[in-house]
Structure formats: C-alpha cells, structure tokens
Amino acid sequence: MNFTPWRRGTVDFIDQMRQEMEQVFHRFFPEQGPGARGKAAWSPQIDMEETDTGLVIKIDMPGVDAKDVEIAFAEGSLIVQGERKEERDETRKTFHMVERSVGRFYRSIPLPPATDPDKIQAQAANGVLTITVPKIPEVQPKKIRINPQSSGL
C-alpha cells in the first residue's frame, strides 16, 4: 500500500483507506453489518463507471445464484442485497483452511439525480452482476456538428 497522498489523487487515497478500514473491521467483527445473521458478513466489490448515456455498475459475486439477489431503487439509491450460500460437503469434515465468506450482503449505491430508475437493467454472467442505469435523455451531452463549409478554422 502506498501512503503517499501526493503521488495519488486524494480521492483514491481516501477510498483506499476506507476499503482497508472496512477489511480490518470485517476481520475483527465478522458478524456486524446489514444482513449478518450468525455468519461472517461479506460485501461484494463494486466498480461504477460513467458513460455518455448512463452508469455501468459491475459487482463481483462469484458463487452467488441470480435468484438469491434482489435489486431495488429507493430514495435515490440502488440497493443490491442477497446471499452467498455455504457449499460444504458434510461427508468430509476435515478443513485445513476456510477463507471464503458466505452469508447475506447488502449494498446501497447512491445514484445522481439525473438517472432514470425506470429503465435500470441488470444481467449476470461469469460471477459478475452488471447493472446499467441510463441518464435522463435531457441531461445527456448533446454533440454539435461543425459545418464543414465554414473556412474560419
């Protein structure tokens, strides 16, 4: 980890520190957080990219069945919650290492007001949930064409 904020953007540095603090708290207090019910809580990682037409949100959820995930829009936020179920074979009881987290998860992602919640789409493939949130057409950038007949340029 690089603790020199002058080499990275301040936002990147703060976001990295927040993520590391969350990992520390999850390690010491695994049953804390929304949806934790006796099992270690986990939180899927999210990437959110803005395009000209909207937002593309990718959520890593390996081992989670799409039927175990709920997506909702409420009070300006996209809410993604669900559960990764435990896959243990009861005939084999000797584990040398158990690191994969299971249990319920809950993520609330605030969306900008210029998005259209009625046209949100989601699809799952290869352990990644991709949610597309379009912008309202009035706020999308309008491209202006330059007339090639003008000779001033």
pLDDT, tens digit (0-9, with 9 covering 90-100), for 63-86 = 888 899 999 999 999 999 998 887
More confident residue, 97 or 139: 97
Where does 31-86+96-139 sit in CATH, by number? 2.60.40.790
And the tokens for 114? 């210029």
C-alpha–C-alpha distance, residues 25 and 83, integer Å: 20
DSSP 3-state of 137: helix
- CA nearest neighbour of 107 among 33, 22, 12: 33
DSSP 3-state of 129: strand
**pTM greater than 0.85 (yes/no):** no
pLDDT at 21 (0 to 100): 80
Residue 17 has pLDDT above 90, yes or no: no
Q: pLDDT band for position 38 (50/70/90)?
A: very low
- Tell me if 61 sits within 8 A of 84, measured CB to CB: yes
pLDDT at 4 (0 to 100): 44
- Tell me if 1 sits within 8 A of 16, measured CB to CB: yes
Q: What are the residue ranges spanned by the domains of the chain? A: 31-86+96-139
What does DSSP say about strands 128-134 and 54-60: parallel, antiparallel, or unpaired? antiparallel
Task: Identify the bridge partners of residue 140 per DSSP, sorted by sequence position.
Answer: none
Residue 39 has pLDDT above 90, yes or no: no
pLDDT, tens digit (0-9, with 9 covering 90-100), for 85-123 = 877 666 666 777 777 778 889 999 999 888 999 999 999
C-alpha–C-alpha distance, residues 67 and 144, integer Å: 44
